[in-house]
Structures are given as C-alpha cells and as structure tokens.
Amino acid sequence: MTREFINFEKISRQSWQELHQKTKPLLTAAELEAIKSLNDHISMQDVIEVYLPLISLIQIYKRAQDNLSFSKSIFLKKDLSHTPFIIGISGSVAVGKSTTSRLLQLLLSRTFKTSKVEMVTTDGFLYPNAVLTEHNLLNRKGFPESYDMESLLNFLDTIKNRSEAQIPVYSHEIYDIIPNKKQTIQRPDFLILEGINVFQNQQNNRLYMSDYFDFSIYIDAENTNIEKWYLERFASLLELAKSDKGNYYHRFTLMPYEKAMQFAHNIWQTVNLVNLEKYIEPTRNRAELILHKAADHMIDEIYLKK
C-alpha cells in the first residue's frame, strides 16, 4: 500500500538521533523490560536514539504551550491557569502503542521531576460486552461505534479544566470492562491518552479528541508487518492462558493450535485490518509526529508535521 504523509517532513533515524546530544537513557534496562508489551521489541539504543530526542521535542511544545497560556492570560486580563499537557498516541492494534506510552510516561516523569504524568487507554471507554451484545455490536468491537465517545470527550474536557475524573477500567484478560472498578485521574500535569481511536470521533463531527491534544503521535508500520506481530502476540497470549480458565484466551487453547491461529488470522482479516484501513489509518495525518517501524520493530523513519 502506498503511504501518503501529507504536510510532513521526513527525517531518517540517523538525522533524528543527531538532533539530541547523547545522554543517559533516564531508565535502566530492567525498567525498560518491565514496560514492554507482549512480543514488542525495544532497546536502550532506541531510547537514546529515538525517544530522548522525542522528549526534547515535547519540551519545546510544552514551553510553547506555557508561553501561549501566559500571553493569553495577559490579553484576557485573567489569572494564569495551568492546563495539563495532553499527548495522544494512536496506531493499529499490535503496533506497539502501549509500550511507547508507558516509556513516554516514565521518561517524562524523569525529565519533569516535579510533574505528575498519568496514562489512560481508550479501552476503558469501550461499551461493556453486554451492551455491545444487546446492540449486536460485539463483532464490531474496536470500531468507532463500540466506544462511548461522549464519555471520552467529557473526560478530556474535565481533565483539561483541572478537575478530578473517574473512568472505567478494561481488562484484556476477561476481554471486557471490569464491573465496579474505576481509575481515578487527579489533576495531572501531563496526560498520555493511548488508543486506536484517539484521532476519531464518528459520533460528533463538531468535536474531535485531537482538539484537546497539545502533542500527538501515530505509530505506523506496513500492514503485513502488523499482521505478523498480531499473530505472534496471539500465540503468546495462548501460552499465558493455558492454565488460566478465567482468561478470555483460554477457550482457544482447547482447540488445535493450527485452528486457533487460523481463527486469529481470520479475525485480523475481517476485523482488525478492516478497522485499520477504514478508520484508523485515514486519521494518521492528524498526528503531529509519525513514528514508522520496520519489520524488526525498529523505528527507521520519523515524520514531523511542517
């Protein structure tokens, strides 16, 4: 598939790493290993060559936001109010959004030592399976209509106004919203919002989540590579679920391995790939920065909005 990056400047990894003076990676190898998602690949070299320059760029955007807030407060003759810096991270299923988000959360916490950095996934705003089943949408899980977008926008509005918010918690183990469990987000200085749908809002054409973002990232890769990573992750999830009957993936361990993997391949072709091509990838140009991954998970190209 031809990939069109409209209004972006292409930067090679070599050029990108030269934009930042090499320094200590701000985390240990053990910490990096702990935040990696299943089957994701990331090294300390990636941290130094890709993510530290990214942190430097975010610092530039943060200073610009602070300066603009200060100037607006003078213009409006109002007291200066500090709003949280919100970062949106999008991309396909299995492309490595969660690893990138957790890594950024850790690096931002180490860079802005007095700042509170929170991370939220949009999975918590999926309708519960019972609601999806009631509306015949369970096989459309992950598609725009399966999210409570109004609640998600209300959450962002609450956070931007420096108020406390409680949001639902999603579990990949049970493949559903956990009943009666909430995540409390209390007035963060930075909020990282991660999900396949962070540049979408099919239910309200007047407002997009990206209207709340101060910086945004799209994790990109060739679709054939993402499919391979998805199937590798599915195989790993089967291994983990073998002895856990409460795990959603346990049911697939009861069928022959080849049949289970064929099922995963069909899900990729009929659900995830369709969602990617129709709803996720078309929003890519709303990002401020695109990180492109090669077949080995290494980020080889960076695209920065002009």
Binding-site residues from annotation for ATP: 91-98
Any residues with CB less than 8 A from the CB of 218 and at least 6 apart, and which?
A: 89, 90, 91, 199, 283, 284, 286, 287, 289, 290, 291
Whether the CB-CB separation of 221 and 90 falls below 8 Å is answered with no
Residue 107: is it exposed, middle or buried by C-beta count within 10 angstroms (0-12/13-18/19+)? buried
- Kindly list the distances between the CA atom of residue 173 and the CA atoms of 125, 157, 220, 241, 304, in Å, as whole numbers in the listed order: 16, 30, 26, 9, 36
Tokens representing 130 are 């019972």
- Kindly list the distances between the CA atom of residue 306 and the CA atoms of 217, 219, 246, 288, 300, in Å, as whole numbers in the listed order: 14, 18, 48, 9, 19
Dihedrals φ, ψ of 271, to 5°? -120, -65
Whether the CB-CB separation of 91 and 97 falls below 8 Å is answered with yes
List the one residue out of 257, 225, 240, 5 whose CA is nearest residue 93: 225
Residues making up the binding site: 91-98
- Kindly list the distances between the CA atom of residue 121 and the CA atoms of 3, 196, 225, in Å, as whole numbers in the listed order: 26, 9, 23
